[in-house]
Amino acid sequence: MVPIEETEKAGISSTNKTRNTETGCFVQTVQCMSKENDSDTYIQFNKGRKGLFAAVQQTIQLFCNEEGKWEFRHSKLTLTVNSLTCLST
């Protein structure tokens, strides 16, 4: 599983890992929630190199690739993920 880093401004995160029966590869589902109802969340990848803002809560999926590394895929973007941080703004 991708390590979820804890920081001073960390939100509330949960993870679940399942196996894709078609490919045999794992899928990691990560949920990031803010600590306050009126706060946003920011999922930060690879110590701040990329990320996603969302209102209150967001859920993403990471997929294992043929090399055994985790990837985040969105539209035309594919990002190899080595670490992840769930932040509450």
In sequence order, what are the residues at sequence separation of 6 or more whose Cβ sits closer than 8 angstroms to the Cβ of residue 68?
Answer: none
Which is it for the CA torsion 44, 35, 15, 31, positive or negative?
A: negative
Domain segments of the chain as ranges: 4-88
Q: Please list the pLDDT of the chain residue by residue as tens digits (89 residues).
A: 888 888 888 999 999 999 988 878 889 999 999 988 888 899 999 988 788 887 778 999 999 988 889 999 988 999 999 999 999 98
The reported pTM is 0.84
Phi, psi of 41 (to 5 degrees): -115, 155
Whether the CB-CB separation of 32 and 39 falls below 8 Å is answered with: no
Cα–chain-centroid distance for residue 30?
A: 5
